Structure 1
């Protein structure tokens, strides 16, 4: 199976001692990979390294066969992202917001805007101004912007933060549909482990800048304990400094 994203030995350390260390994992084309960990675990730093906003000290990132060091533009053509995304223009409609974003992709047909609005469920509201949108609708509009260039890999950082139950379910269903029907690969960062377990085929657990576990939910959880209990136990182990003895990479 084709590999969409391969992360090898990514390390970035700051003077404060924070950062990420020796991160290694891969994602197959069409899969949904969840990145879990508490606030400050290094999730956003890692995602920013993957899309080229931060330069790592060591390691490499390869996206659909293109190394981001030597083939950055070619690699990024395959990627759409929602990472600390700026707010939409509230005084514009959903359609006009995407029309502005489309200026960065002059080769895209005008019909692409309608396509992505349909994909995220906003087609009926495309002429409405964003200031009347719920938070969930605004998040779907940001997802539409990430999908505009027809990316093969979409990276989302805490996409359901602040959403109510209905908004979370709608967002989850949209992601699953895009992966299933369009073969889009997703890397989703979230501290909400139960939500990730409902959408991701595999989950990576981060703590103190390290990836301490990677695997499917059934591979990670032992009989008789919940996923939340497992995560808490692994984070506790990590805090005690037992990373090297417990780190596993399950392909």
Structure 2
């Protein structure tokens, strides 16, 4: 693992009974970058993120986070990681503040005022003492992001963070991510199937299709020659679609 890498993924494979999963995925995410994991629904994005965070175990391969092995040094690997995988869960009968207070019990020595700090960071300070049952979907997504940020992690892993949000919610989440990456040097790994959003927010992307990593690189390099993100994606997946059609 290089000194610049926040995470290295080496030859990760995971196959479920239905045949889906990921196959021989390798990539590296550098410190301070916003890495987008892009692909259609069912391409293996959530599976790979679950393996990154120890929510499921790979059949083969290895992952290191800041030099620590997920399989052999799990606590060390996850010590500086915050994540939101699949759904933005919260106790609806409690306030946003109370939910974060509960989440904070998992961490030692958090500074006083940290809950108010993250609520302000995600734009929920004015609603912190309202019950989550009254929150919009976008507010719940931002509360989940606040919970992921509460320990002041160095790496944030987000699964479809703007899924189901309206334009205002998408812009709000996007601005929080960009601010943290630029001003606090946080590293982000974000999965999405929204090409336009990935192009706006990410410094580098990887494309998953059929469980395989079929392309990766910096946004500027991938879009050389004036092609759009959509055009690059369609050209990248075409050989794999043609191969599947001949099986």
Give the TM-score normalised by the residue count of structure 2.
Answer: 0.93
CA distance in structure 2 between the partners assigned to 1:166 and 1:104 by the alignment: 32
Specify the alignment match of 1:84 in structure 2: 86
CA contact (8 A) 2:88 2:140 kept: no
Tell which deviates more after alignment, 90-99 or 169-178.
90-99
CA contact (8 A) 2:66 2:77 kept: yes
Residue 224 of structure 1: how far off its partner (Å): 4.6
SS in 2 for 1:104: coil
Pair 1:57–1:167, CA change in 2 (3 A) = same
Tell which deviates more after alignment, 146-155 or 186-195.
146-155
CA distance in structure 1 between the partners assigned to 2:74 and 2:90 by the alignment: 27
1:45 matched to 2:68? The reply is no
SS in 2 for 1:145: helix
Q: Aligned match of 1:10 in 6, 12, 15?
A: 12
Residue 150 of structure 1: how far off its partner (Å): 1.5
1:160-190, Cα deviation, whole Å (9 max, x unpaired): 0110111101110000001111111000000
Q: Aligned match of 1:228 in 214, 227, 230?
A: 230
Q: Aligned match of 2:151 in 149, 152, 170?
A: 149
Alpha-carbon RMSD: 1.5
Specify the alignment match of 1:217 in structure 2: 219
Return 5+ residue gaps in structure 2 as ranges: none
Residue 112 of structure 1: how far off its partner (Å): 1.5
Return 5+ residue gaps in structure 1 as ranges: 243-251
Give the TM-score normalised by the residue count of structure 1.
Answer: 0.92
CA contact (8 A) 2:178 2:201 kept: yes
